[in-house]
């Protein structure tokens, strides 16, 4: 439902965003992702409606807007409304101009996903037209695609090639091949795997990471392919 109504997402107004004629802050109002500042409201007959604004969903999607008269004034009422979790939007709205990705989030840190064989990171994002949009929870994404995106710039929480850096760390921690885990635990390596992701790693670490870059290895499948050739 939400994926078909991406232009009709609304977020509950924050304090001071919507003020009535009598100066009362309307915390039960919603603002559309379209950039329009006209407040939207839930119908009292809507299943999501509650007199206590704290119990109203933060995000909703709606099918249409109906103009209704309340206390002698026309107000915009959302029709056919459903609750939306903000964490859904980065996945559902991929490719939409309403969705904007920012820097790689500091936490959670990148990790190796065994199921998809990829290094994943968490990216800050926002949704909606006008200004910076609404901040969304960091979304999980393939790190290589994030760093290779046309709008990515070094320094936005990561550097180009960091996918190889994190693959090297996860590889030596045993996250890719479990048989390698004892190497870190028994200190048979010249360095601790966590040192790989330091800002100024040792020369031997840089050589190892650069070799992975040269070979284009940031997945288990790619590494197995290189080893098979050797």
Find how far residue 137's CA is from the centre of its chain. Answer: 6
For 178-207, write each residue's pLDDT tens digit: 887 776 655 556 778 888 888 888 888 889
Which ranges of the chain have pLDDT less than 50?
Answer: none
Which pLDDT belongs to residue 102?
Answer: 82
Which pLDDT belongs to residue 186?
Answer: 54
**What angle do the packed helices 203-215 and 162-173 form, to 10 degrees?**
110
- Among 213, 166, 208, 175, smallest CA distance to 189 is for 208
Which pLDDT belongs to residue 200?
Answer: 83
Which pLDDT belongs to residue 154?
Answer: 67
Q: Are 148 and 118 in contact (CB under 8 A)?
A: no
Which pLDDT belongs to residue 184?
Answer: 64
Which pLDDT belongs to residue 230?
Answer: 67
Which pLDDT belongs to residue 78?
Answer: 95
Give the other-Cβ count within 10 Å of 134's Cβ. 19
Q: Are 194 and 174 in contact (CB under 8 A)?
A: no
């Amino acid at each position: 439902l939400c994926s078909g109504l991406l232009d009709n997402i609304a977020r509950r107004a924050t304090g001071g965003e919507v003020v009535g004629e009598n100066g009362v802050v309307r915390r039960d109002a919603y603002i559309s992702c379209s950039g329009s500042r006209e407040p939207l409201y839930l119908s009292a007959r809507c299943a999501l409606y509650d007199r206590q604004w704290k119990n109203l969903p933060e995000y909703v999607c709606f099918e249409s807007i109906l103009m209704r008269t309340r206390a002698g004034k026309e107000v915009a009422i959302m029709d056919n409304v459903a609750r939306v979790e903000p964490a859904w939007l980065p996945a559902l709205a991929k490719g939409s101009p309403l969705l904007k990705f920012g820097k790689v989030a500091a936490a959670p840190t990148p990790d190796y996903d065994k199921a998809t064989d990829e290094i994943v990171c968490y990216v800050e994002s926002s949704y909606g037209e006008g200004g910076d949009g609404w901040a969304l929870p960091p979304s999980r994404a393939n790190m290589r695609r994030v760093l290779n995106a046309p709008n990515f710039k070094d320094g936005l929480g990561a550097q180009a090639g960091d996918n190889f850096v994190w693959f090297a760390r996860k590889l030596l921690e045993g996250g890719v091949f479990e048989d390698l885990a004892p190497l870190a635990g028994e200190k048979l390596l010249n360095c601790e795997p966590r040192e790989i992701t330091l800002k100024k790693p040792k020369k031997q670490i840089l050589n190892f990471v650069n070799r992975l870059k040269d070979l284009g290895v940031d997945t288990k499948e790619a590494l197995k392919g290189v080893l098979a050739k050797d």
